[in-house]
Amino acid sequence: MDHFLYRDGVLHAEDVPVPGIAAEVGTPFYCYSTATLERHYSLFVEALGGLNCLICYAVKANSNLAVLRTLARLGSGADVVSEGEFRRALAAGIPGERIIFSGVGKTRRELQFALENNVRQINVESEPELHLLNEVALAMGVVAPMSMRVNPDVDAKTHEKISTGKAENKFGIAYEDAPRLYRVAADMAGIDVLGIDMHIGSQLTDLAPYEQAYVLMRDLVERLEADGIPIPRLDLGGGLGVPYTRDNQPPPLPFDYGAMVRRVFAGMEDREFEIEPGRLIAANSGILVASTVYVKENAGRRFLILDAAMNDLIRPALYDAWHDIEPVIEAEASAPKTTFDVVGPICESGDTFAKQRPMPNISQNDLVFFRSAGAYGAVMASEYNTRPPAPEVIVSGDRFAIARPRLTYDDILAKDVIPDWLGEAGPSED
């Protein structure tokens, strides 16, 4: 469900006509819906109602401060993977006590920063990290709240670049090695062993891999507690998928997920639970709006050349990802369709959003929009080809605000520094 709907043939973001935003902001731009963010967060609250569960939004999915603030006001925590994301969560009003710090390469500085800011827990992903965390905590005179990310070697059956729970992936501690490391951690003066964390991948469209991993998690809890190591907290990770095309079978709903969690962990309801959804909260809460620069025919193919590019939305180039692409002005249901290659202006053949996509006829200067672009869209943008990334807008009811303005070329150029020995910039010398 989202709040991007046609009214009288014109796409609206909640109660705001999208062409009006385009006229003021220019294209391309991202647009986020407050109502959709709130609705998707509430689905998890309802699905896991009755459990002592903290929902920690995965900041990497969309780190815009307006998005984070919207979720913070609902009581959301945050799952972060860098000091920068930690600082964003704090700036949006999410206190350290509701922030989980994940990631395979946390530095000494990042661990210290997290402990200084009362982090809820640090998800340790390797033995060297465990020893470094203990060292940092002892030097600071504190005890570090620690959960260990355990890799269950479960195939999430998702794209290889977003799979995280197989033995060959870089994430977590091998399941068979976990009991030994928990015993090591339990003997460390700077470590407070709190829980187990498992996250097996992103864009999961089947609950079976989750259940397989959670059964292993439960077994590990029972083994550790039999060994005298209490595990009061279970971090279930994130990864529930979204329907990127409305024609496909929808992925499992949060309610189905919640029922599975209760079934697997029956009898353990006295624990603290944590989940880390990102994509399912953010993806359908955002769209990318672009203008058609040219319609080009070449060797029997028709190309829809947009002013948005792979620097704005890299998912199709990186993951072969699908996004529904539709006109902002609704086409008649009976309107004939034309097959387009939808591309951007970057000097790369990979700057392609869709190949041979049947769409209503689109003309030069028409507006189009990409659905389900709120996750891993703007947050992965770059300035490739010295293109200012698309600005970000957030809508609430009949209001909208620019949540991240478009950079100017002067903003981009000002970030570079020419060394003194190269002299003043100017016309080249013969």
Single-letter residue type at 53? C
Active-site hit among 31, 53, 56, 347: 347
Active site residue 53: no
- DSSP assignment of 22-51, as one string? HHHH-SSEEEEEHHHHHHHHHHHHHHTTTS
Q: At what angle do helices 254-264 and 208-226 cross, to 10 degrees?
A: 30
Residues 6+ apart with CB under 8 A from 380: 314, 315, 318
Run of H or E residues at 114: helix 108-116
Q: How many residues does the chain have?
A: 430
Run of H or E residues at 296: strand 286-298
Which residue, among 384, 393, 392, has the nearest Cα to 412 in the 3D structure?
A: 384
How far apart CA 76 and CA 57 sit, in angstroms, is: 7
- The answer to whether 145 and 121 are in contact (CB under 8 A) is yes
Enzyme catalytic residues: 347
